[in-house]
A and B are shown apart, each in its own frame.
Chain A
Amino acid sequence: MTDLAERREPDLVYQPAEDSRLLGDATREFVDEGDVVLDVGTGSGWVASVAAEEGADVVGVDLNPHACREARDRGVQTVRGDLVEPFRNDAFDAVLFNPPYLPTDPDDEGDDWLEKALSGGETGRAVVDPFLDTVGRVLKPEGEVLLLVSSLTGLDEVTERAAENGLATAEVASEKFPFERLIVLRVITDNHQTD
């Protein structure tokens, strides 16, 4: 375990926090044994490892090379990549994502890896929007997405963007904090919903 501790790089990789825990709880509820699962922006790999504990076959993807190494050290099979781009059509039963969701003033925005893990640009949706535009391609017809967002991210806008992509959203978990509410959205394709 010494090796793992030495390789952990807390300043370069987002560590599990309240949002991770909320997404982890939803993961336990919705991910089943044998599911093929993608954890987008896997970071430390903590949420991915929760899915693995449920018996799922999990892959993590992250832009950040330090996160990829840390998640791999946690035992998560990891790919360095941009959102769902390096994955095949209809590959996953579930896609999990705790994205950078906080609206950030462009003047305050740094360019280090940790900032990139938190900042969702001016709207808070700079990463959520392209994710919603592309995630449908890699979902199996009966597949589902668990997406963590904050009330600060703009729930209506997120729901609207999903709908434009043929995706239906439903709130499945939420927790209040002093300045925001954290929400887990379950996102499924419109086809799935009418089945």
Chain B
Amino acid sequence: MGKLHRKTLETGVEGLGDSYFTESLALSTPPDDPDPLDSNLLLRELQWLLQDATGDVGRSQNPDLVPLRADLGDLYGLWRERVLERRPFQYVVGCEHWRDLVLWVGEGVLIPRPETEVVVDLVREVVIGRSGRGDGEEVWADLGTGSGAIAVGMGGVVGERGRVVATDLSEVAVKVARFNVERYALKDKVQIRQGSWFEPLEDVKGKLTGLVSNPPYIPSRNLPGLQAEVGRYEPKLALDGGESGMDHLIHLCEGSVSYLKPGGFFAFETNGDEQSEFLVDFMVSKLENSFRDVKAVADFAGIKRFVTGFRS
């Protein structure tokens, strides 16, 4: 693999400037782009790209040389894809930093969003609140797991008695999720099964301690107007929520009635205020007496992003 002079790395972007990267930065905001990239953000992504591309300096024999995981020319190619073709940064570097995890992501799986990190916190709170109660095994499910982010995150918080079963319809997602589970040595804790929503969960029907999901929730009519990185690259299967965006959410709510055990917890991510409010109302009035403590929970941007509650 390539070598990069340490001086270049320390002085950062300017050092690489003449030949490569500043050219790309200059290209980063074409005047006709209606949805331009933020140059500060790009600069930070570029630093991360270099960070990911450079190996351990300590292991280099010459302290002035930094080993590179990819050829400079290849890096440049990747960066052009990022800037000119708007390929998501996470696909470019092949990973997403999510919570305290570094997850493998690639085309074919949704890149886990920062908002979704909170789902794991919601689960952790419930686990802590339940501790000391009961002594049997506790099974948690993550439906439509994608890269396996929530499932791996949950694997770390469900406690000694807990285990996680995660499902996804997509073959690619199942492969990526399994890789991420193994990467964090959670093979005995987190199981990935292929299939649609509840289909692979017959064996735990009515026994789930908790059920979470970040299902596709964008209304179909909004798909054409999505941000370039999302619309051009991320899988429609993970985004398209049908006409109202709520097809899958409703399916999940209904399924929860029979799959959760009494007292079981659920948390779903939604498109925001409107969907969350609708779901709360739907679960309280349409699925009456099935659930208790149903409420909308805001994300850090103040948007009612999640609906949580318990099976009666």
Partners in one complex: no
Interface residues of A (CB under 8 A from B): none
Interface residues of B (CB under 8 A from A): none
